[in-house]
Amino acid sequence: MGMNKSFKDRKLPGRLKFFCSALLTLCLFARPVFADPSGLARAAGLLRAGNAEGAYRAYLALLREEPDSDEANLGLARASMAASHPHQAIMAYERMIAKYPSEFGLYREIASAYMSIGDSDMAMRYLSHDTSLAPDDISAWASRVGAAYSRFQSQGKLRFGVMYDSNGNQGPDSNSITLGNIPVILIGAEKEGGFGGWLAGDCYAAYRTSRSGPWWAVGDAHFYSRLLGSSGLRALDRDHSQWYRLAGGIRHSSPTSLFDLRVKGEIFDYDFYDTVYSFGPELTYTKMFSNSFQLVTRAGIERRDYVRAPDNDGTYGYAGEYARFVFGPMANEFIIGGRVLWADAETDRSSYDGWEISAVARFKLKNRWEFSPSLSYVEERYDAPATILELDGRRDRRFCAGLNALYRINERWSAEMDYSYTENSSNSPLYEYDRHLITLGVVWSF
């Protein structure tokens, strides 16, 4: 054979053969890896539906497949914040800022994440890179967001105005009524109305036991006072009424649920009676199935003591279930549900069981107006007749309809108008009444 060999007879050097084999293997088996579009859509859907923890896990899985995916990194950052994982959110935002340093919106989002863990210095450092914000804007933003992420939260309202009550003592149309088969005249029972003024206050406070933990210590305080200019009510010593409430307890919150347990004490006027004291626990549990649908469970039990009507002393309670729907770009809401009621009082004449159904909606308009119509129906079945002159057990049915209109003047001040109509029908004429209540007022929020 000659000195020249054919190409197929030539032997490749060992290193070159290894390199070609490795390259051939990569060409045959390797493929570009991208974040699965369907997986991104599923994770985004979970976040929109309010399942923040599920979205957080889904975005983590996507990033394991493609660490450089912008959609997965940004989705993970936002899902982490919603699911109370701020440190994971910060790492994801930092990766995005490294790639897109001119996206000013990312600086505000990572600043919010730092504020949520109490690191205001880092938050301000990132905000200083946002050239679209003036120094005053940065300070205002930091103050607002810092308050939102503070471990101590508080808010309240002071409200005052004028009112008209067509039936301030919730009395029947006439004091000449028939109880059983006996006509009687009840002094001071006939309804009395009048114009007057009112003053009310509400305050809510909460303290988070740890920087990012789920437990809170919570409390609320309320008062309401009114004075009606009616000679008839003044003669009955019912022209002035008051109500006070103080409550405290604990709350556990997560991205998909809220549990709130409080013990409350109240002092108030009730129907025809004077001062009433009540004390007992109340519970609220909210399960968020999505951002637009929630189920709310409410229950409470209390001990009531009546100063001038000891026959009504006893244990009163309720338990109910409500569905809350949120809809529209303005986050309007509609709540509908019902509850059962019961009372175990000193006498059968004051003990009852019953039920209530109610619905309320809130519509927020772009021109600063809010409207809240409401309806409710209550039925109470007592264990005995209302008086010794009657034979059948007392049965009350109460229908209420209302409309509240609120106009926001600015961030602190609002004006409101409220109208409600109540009709209480009963097989005992003593408890037959209707009532129109109109209030006009000003609200200061703090």
Nearest alpha carbon to residue 35 among 5, 6, 75: 75
HSE on the CB side for 390, CA within 13 Å?
21
Nearest alpha carbon to residue 340 among 304, 378, 376, 296: 378
Helix (H) or strand (E) holding 441: strand 433-445
HSE on the CB side for 68, CA within 13 Å?
4
pLDDT of residue 17: 52
pLDDT averaged over the chain? 86
The arithmetic mean of pLDDT across residues 82-109, rounded, is 89
Domains detected in the chain: 37-148 (1.25.40.10), 151-445 (2.40.160.40)
pLDDT of residue 393: 93
Residue-wise pLDDT for 279-314, tens only, equals 999 999 999 998 899 999 999 999 999 988 899 999
Residue 141's pLDDT band (cuts 50, 70, 90): confident
- Greater pLDDT, 134 or 301: 301
359 vs 372: CA distance, rounded Å: 10
DSSP string, 349-391: GG-EEEEEEEEEEEEE-TTSEEEEEEEEEEEEEESS-SSTT--
Residue type, 198: W
Is 124's pLDDT higher than 90? no
Residue type, 118: G
- Greater pLDDT, 237 or 372: 372
Phi-psi region at 266: left, alpha or beta (left = phi > 0; alpha = psi -120 to 50): beta
Angle at 218 between CA 216 and CA 219, to 5 degrees: 175
Least confident residue range of 38-52, 170-184, 409-423: 170-184
- Residue 270 has φ and ψ, to the nearest 5°, of -145, 115
Residue type, 179: L
Residue 335's pLDDT band (cuts 50, 70, 90): very high
The arithmetic mean of pLDDT across residues 311-336, rounded, is 95
Residue-wise pLDDT for 178-237, tens only, equals 777 777 777 667 788 899 999 999 999 999 998 778 899 999 999 999 998 887 777 666
Is 160's pLDDT higher than 90? yes
Count other C-beta atoms under 10 Å from residue 46's C-beta: 21
325 within 8 A of 333, measured Cβ to Cβ: yes
SS3 128: coil
Nearest alpha carbon to residue 387 among 180, 172, 177, 173: 180
